[in-house]
Amino acid sequence: MRAFAYHAPASLAEAVAILRREGPGGRVLAGGTDLLVQMKERGTVPRCVVSLRAVADLSHVSFQPGRGLVIGSRASLTDVITNPIVRERYPIIVESAGLVGSHQIQNLGTVGGNLCNAAPSADTAPPLIALGAILRLHSDQGQRDLPISEFFVGPGRTALGEGELLSEIIVPAPHAHSGGSYERYTPRQEMDIAVASVASFVTLAPDGTVVHARIILGAVGPTPLHAHAAEAELIGKKPTGEIIEAAASAAVSDARPISDQRGSESYRKHLINVLTRRTLTRAIVSAQG
């Protein structure tokens, strides 16, 4: 491993100042469960590593009325999974975060890191897109808020600018009569990445018709994909079994899977159909409940 500079700033302002000063080639270290593996096994050699471990104000998980759930980029997956407010109001996030790695990985790894790694199979991305999350990005020029749907630009690539880092994930409070569900398929039960995944989130009117729907597909494209055709099958209709089947079939048309050693294109499309049907059914039951 080649030499690199290591910095451990004590504040967000110091962290972004270091990133700007060091220039291109710097990487941010949160939990390290992705970056350290890349450095040891894949030959990734950043010019410098900026650790966020001492930046205490990035480790919060809180709910703020009028703003929603706020997750600091240093908050661990375990912090999110075990938070009572997240468990009560955002169970779809608990479902997805609980699938990332092992308990040991969850104790170190962060939701922020899972997003910034930008793997097409990232488990936390589809539910957060389905919930309409906003990402707060910081640089030494200030801050900006970006819809998470605009954050992923390709495998391993995000909309983060030079010298910019993710500081918070802001998730709006779900409307009444809303429900969501996330499911992925993996050959193994644990310590595996998704061959295909789906997050479904719906909001129902008092008469039971669907007034809002987001269906996000993971691991079947270079970035998480918005299943617009599937959503169109639901809006303004009562979600009968027939309608759910139609939405599941439509979701397949929005998928863009490849064939590789983990699964063929046709197999991944079949999985999208099955997972969309399952997650939609659970999301609707939750919204009705």
Taking only the tens of pLDDT, the chain with its 289 residues reads 567 889 999 999 999 999 999 888 889 999 988 888 888 776 777 888 999 999 988 999 999 888 999 999 999 999 999 999 999 999 999 999 999 988 999 999 999 999 999 999 999 999 999 999 999 999 999 999 999 999 999 999 999 999 999 999 999 999 999 999 999 999 877 668 899 999 999 999 999 999 999 999 999 999 999 999 999 999 999 999 999 999 999 999 999 999 988 899 999 999 999 999 999 999 999 999 8
Same domain, yes or no: 144 and 103: yes
CATH number at residue 36: 3.30.43.10
Same domain, yes or no: 67 and 135: yes
Q: How many structural domains comprise the chain?
A: 3
Please choose, from the candidates 217, 219, 182, 193, the residue with its C-alpha nearest in 3D space to the C-alpha of residue 102. 193
Strands of the 134-139 sheet, one edge to the other:
61-64, 68-72, 165-171, 134-139, 142-147
Indicate the residue type of 278. R
Alpha carbon distance 27, 169 (integer Å): 19
List CB contacts of 95: < 8 A, sequence separation 6 or more: 127, 181, 182, 183
pLDDT at residue 261, as a whole number: 86
pLDDT at residue 245, as a whole number: 98
pLDDT at residue 101, as a whole number: 87
Domain holding 261, by residue range, is 178-288
Torsion of the alpha carbons at 38, 222, 200 and 254, rounded to the nearest 10: -160
Alpha carbon distance 136, 157 (integer Å): 17
- Could you give phi then psi for residue 114, rounded to 5 degrees? -60, -35
Confirm whether pTM is higher than 0.85. Answer: yes
Please choose, from the candidates 185, 260, 246, the residue with its C-alpha nearest in 3D space to the C-alpha of residue 217. 185
Same domain, yes or no: 187 and 272: yes
Same domain, yes or no: 95 and 153: yes
Same domain, yes or no: 184 and 130: no
pLDDT at residue 1, as a whole number: 57
pLDDT at residue 190, as a whole number: 67
